[in-house]
Amino acid sequence: MVAPPSRESPKAVDPQPRILVVAPDDARAGPLCQGLDALGWRTVTARGAGGALSVIMDLPVEAVVLDARLDDPEGLAEALRGTAQPRRLPILAIAAPESLARSTAFDLVMTVTPHPAQAALRLEQLFRAALAEEEIALREATFAARGVPLARDVSEAPVRVLAAGPPDHRFLALSNALDQEGAEVIAAPTAYTAFDYLHERAFDAAVLWGGEDHTAAQSIAAGMKRNTRLYHIPVVLYLNGQAEMNLGELFGRGFADVAASDTPEEETARRVMALARTHRRHQAVRRALETVRGSALADAATGLFTRELFASHLARVAEASRERRRPLSVCVLKVTETPELSALRAGGWVDRALPQIGAMLSRLIRVEDTAARLSPEVFALALPATRAAQARIAAERIAAVIGCTAFDAGSGRAPFVVGFDIGAAELQAGEGPAQLLERASADLRR
C-alpha cells in the first residue's frame, strides 16, 4: 500500500497557480487537484479549450495536466503551447489511450491518473527541462555575442540505464521493456555493485527496485545525491505492490519519478527513457560549457563565468524573466572567514582549493542556473523561475555538499573544510540586474 502524501510541502507557497488542469469533469482531475494543492502546487481548472486558452493568456502557469478524454487533445496541446510563447509549456496527458502513448504533442503520457505526489515529481522534472531549454537559448546568445559558438553534441549511442535490485520477476519485466525501447540495461543486484557500476561507467538514468524493503533503494539515491558526478542522474523508484511509502516524503530524497505497482512496465519504461534523454541533452550542454572554460570568457582558476560575463548574461536572463512572467533570483556565496582559514590563506592553501570549489559548484547547479566568480572568494548564482526562499535553500544545499569536502592544507596539517555566507534576492518590478545583485550581496549571512 502507498501512504497518502504528507501535507507538509517543501515548496514555498506561491499566490499564483502553478498548474493548469484541463478536464471535462472532476472524475479524474478532482482528486489530483486536491492532492497537488495539498502538496503546495496551486492548481486552476478549465473544462475545455476556450477556458484553458484564457488561463494561459492571463496567468503564468508552469505546466498543464490535460485529460486525454477531451476532444482533439493533441490539437489543444499545440494551441496551448503557441499561446504560452515565449514560455515553453510542458504538458502531461493523463487517462490517455494507447494510441497516444507515443504522441509528440505531449511531454509525457500516462494511461492512468497518477498519485498527486508522483504527478508533482514529474511535473517538476518537466518544468525544469523546459527552463533548461529556455536558458540554453539565452546562453547561446550570450556566447554568440562574443564570437564563441556553444554547440551541443548529443550522443547517439543507446541510452544506458542502471537497474539496481534483486531479480524479481516484475523488475526483470521492466528491464525487458527498457531493452525493447532501445536502452542498454546494466543490472546490479546489490547496492555495492550498483555503486561499482556508477563509478566505472556513465549512465543516463537509474531505476531502483523498491521490493519488500526499500532501504537499499533509498541509500543508493542518497549516495548519488552526495556525489557531484552522479548528482544529476535521474533516479526512478519502482515500487513493489506491497511496499509502504509516503510518496510525499520523496521530494527531498532525490527521486525523479516513482512507478506504482499497477503501472504497466511499458509505460514505466517510456517514462524512464524520457528522463534519460533529457539528462543526456543537459549533459551535452554541460560539455559545451566545458569547452569555453579555458577561454578568456571564463574565470581562469575556476572555469566559471567572470564578473563581466555574468553581468551581461544576467541582464539577458532578467529581460527574459519579465517577458515570460517568471521570477528570477540571485544568490551570493562568500567563503566564511574563520581563524583557521586566515592562517591557511597566508600559505596559499585556500587559493589552491578554489579551482576544485569552482568545479564542484558548476556540477552541483542545475542546467538552467548560472554560476560566476565575482571576486577571489565570492561566487554568484542566477536561478531562473525561482523565488528567493527557494534560491536560498538551493544555495544552502550546494554549500552543504561542498562543506563535506576536505581540502589539502599541506604537510603536517589536517585537511580543512570551507563554509559559506549566503545572500539571496528576487528580481522586483522595475529593478535592474545590478540592483538585484547588490541586494543579494547585502543579504549575506551565515
* CA nearest neighbour of 191 among 169, 164, 168: 164
335 close to 375: Cβ distance less than 8 angstroms: no
The CATH superfamily label for domain 307-442 reads: Reverse transcriptase/Diguanylate cyclase domain (3.30.70.270)
Burial class (CB in 10 A: 0-12, 13-18, 19+), 6: middle
Q: What is the rounded average pLDDT of the residues 303-332?
A: 95
Three-state SS string over 85-113 comes to CCCCCCEEEECCCHHHCCCCCCCEECCCC
Q: Which of 35-39, 135-139, 167-171 has the lowest mean pLDDT?
A: 167-171
Name which residue leads in pLDDT, 287 or 431. Answer: 431
What is the pLDDT, as a whole number, of residue 11?
41
H helices of 19-94, in order, are 26-38, 49-58, 73-84
Question: 2-142: what fold?
Answer: Rossmann fold (3.40.50)
Burial class (CB in 10 A: 0-12, 13-18, 19+), 145: exposed
Q: Do domains 160-290 and 307-442 have the same CATH topology?
A: no
What is the pLDDT, as a whole number, of residue 10?
35
Band of pLDDT at residue 446, cut at 50, 70 and 90: low
Read off the pLDDT of residues 384-402 as tens digits, 9 standing for 90 and up: 999 999 999 999 999 999 9
* CA nearest neighbour of 226 among 381, 121, 363: 363
What is the pLDDT, as a whole number, of residue 297?
84
pLDDT at residue 6 is higher than 70: no
Percent of the chain with pLDDT over 90: 52
The Cα-based distances of 384 to 101, 209, 279, 321 in angstroms read 31, 34, 19, 7
Q: Classify 259 as helix, strand or coil.
A: strand
* CA nearest neighbour of 310 among 365, 350, 231, 388: 365
436 close to 318: Cβ distance less than 8 angstroms: yes
* CA nearest neighbour of 228 among 401, 407, 373: 401
Read off the pLDDT of residues 185-229 as tens digits, 9 standing for 90 and up: 999 998 899 999 999 999 999 999 876 667 788 889 888 988 878
Band of pLDDT at residue 8, cut at 50, 70 and 90: very low
What is the pLDDT, as a whole number, of residue 332?
98
Q: What is the rounded average pLDDT of the residues 340-352?
A: 86
pLDDT at residue 317 is higher than 80: yes
Dist. CA 391–CA 397, nearest whole Å: 10
pLDDT at residue 106 is higher than 80: yes
Tell me the whole-structure pTM to 2 decimals: 0.80
C-alpha cell at 320: 527574459
What is the pLDDT, as a whole number, of residue 167?
81
pLDDT at residue 108 is higher than 70: yes
Q: Where are the domains of the chain?
A: 2-142, 160-290, 307-442
Read off the pLDDT of residues 27-47 as tens digits, 9 standing for 90 and up: 989 999 999 999 888 999 999
Maximum pairwise Cα distance, the chain: 74
Q: What is the mean pLDDT of the chain?
A: 87
pLDDT at residue 3 is higher than 50: no
Question: 160-290: what fold?
Answer: Rossmann fold (3.40.50)
Band of pLDDT at residue 245, cut at 50, 70 and 90: low
